[in-house]
Structure 1
Amino acid sequence: MAGAIEEAVVRPVGTALAAATGAMARALGRRPLHPRGVLLRATLVVAEDEAGAVAVPQGRTDALVRVSLAVGLPRGCPDVVGLAVRWTDGGAPQDVLFSSAGSGRVTRYVLAPRRRLMHGAFSTLMPLRSPHGPVVLGLRPDPGATRARGTPVLEVLEASPIGPWRRFGAIELHGPPAGTTRDGDDPAVRFDPTRNAPRLLGTYAWEDALRAPVYAAARRGSLVRDDGQS
């Protein structure tokens, strides 16, 4: 049944979105979504005895975070904020993408344009496949930890698709890594939540059918290197 729904509904939607994305990329001559961003060094912090964090490394792990705006509107205009997180597992990139969204049981699946980058909640929007069932991951600013550490800190949260949020870690944001351009970005770094889904936190087939064609179309249609984030 799930396969039939994927073929009848999800895949045609993914194909249509891919066509629109490719056309936009060719018209603009650049990646169509999240064209500009800032790449930051980060530290993923998860307690050593955090039993629920089965899909992310425990302890302190080096990570990369790219903060970007979906459309790249002028400063001050509301835009969807994207926050891409990467760590490595055995040398392989592990990517999770978050977007500014609500935090409620329904609004966690709804994009929320904002004027301020690091304000409000972030969500993966789609459930991910964990060893204990589907989960939605979220991020939320931690003002207390930010003041104490002197660097932006985000809580890392998880929830069942309609369950309450539970904190299991944090992300500390630092400065840009070496090799970034003057504006703080690095076009050689590409995030892809489908091809680089975390080893213990995969995506569902219907998600891949919806998103993978869009990422591929963005890369083919753009005249510059694309990081895959859409």
Structure 2
Amino acid sequence: MGENNFGGDLLLAGTGDGMVSRHLLVPRRSEGTCSTLLPMRTPTGPLLVRLRPAGSEDWEIAWSRPGGAWHRVGTLTVTDEPVPEPHFEPVDSPPHGLEHYPVAALLRRPSYAQARRQAGLAEADDPVPME
């Protein structure tokens, strides 16, 4: 698991909300729907996670099967409380019960290894980025 107290790290991107647009990046100038863009693997099949603005500090958390309806599961509240320097590992430390499909992890891992190197957080066993 990641070094935070949340059970893992999840990579979210600005996406749409619909059956097709949930798999597309959506440029925007203000807050909006974010999702995992690509399905995550679970013991019961592929799953997407979505956050959607639900107030000034709140985000609605929902899940869906690809092509299925969204199911609300909770609320994330973002505050101004100071936190230690965050360190994210969305490829290698996803939340419990979720994992990346191998091809997605293979494509993403070099980018995160490079980001760790640039931040001075690289480990000796980090893969060398593709060039």
Alignment of 1:38-187 (within 5 A): 87-88=6-7, 94-116=8-30, 119-143=31-55, 146=56, 152-179=57-84, 186=85
- Give ranges in structure 2 of 5+ residues lacking alignment: 122-131
- Give ranges in structure 1 of 5+ residues lacking alignment: 1-63, 65-85, 89-93, 147-151, 180-185
The alpha-carbon deviation at position 196 of structure 1 amounts to: 0.7
The structure with the greater share of residues assigned to strand is 1
The alpha-carbon deviation at position 225 of structure 1 amounts to: 3.8
Question: Which structure carries more relative contact order (alpha carbon 8 Å, separation 6+)?
Answer: 1
Q: What corresponds to 1:67 in structure 2?
A: none
TM-score, normalised to structure 1, is 0.47
Structure 2 residue 99 is matched with structure 1 residue 202 = yes
> Does the residue aligned with 1:167 lie in a helix, a strand or coil?
strand
* RMSD over aligned Cα atoms: 2.1
Q: Once the two structures are superposed, what CA deviation does each residue of 1:196-228 show, in whole Å capped at 9, x if it has no partner?
A: 1122111111111110111112333x2x346xx
The structure with the greater share of residues assigned to helix is 1
Q: Once the two structures are superposed, what CA deviation does each residue of 1:164-219 show, in whole Å capped at 9, x if it has no partner?
A: 1111111011113244xxxxxx3xx2211111112211111111111011111233
TM-score, normalised to structure 2, is 0.80
> Does the residue aligned with 1:95 lie in a helix, a strand or coil?
coil
What amino acid sits opposite 1:87 in the alignment? F
Q: What corresponds to 2:126 in structure 1?
A: none
The alpha-carbon deviation at position 131 of structure 1 amounts to: 2.5
Distance in 2 between residues matched to 1:178 and 1:163, nearest whole Å: 36
What percent of counterpart residues are identical?
36
Specify the structure having the higher radius of gyration (Cα).
Answer: 1
Q: Once the two structures are superposed, what CA deviation does each residue of 1:137-166 show, in whole Å capped at 9, x if it has no partner?
A: 0011113xx5xxxxx111001111111111
- After superposing on structure 2, the runs of 4+ consecutive aligned residues of structure 1 that deviate more than 6 Å are none
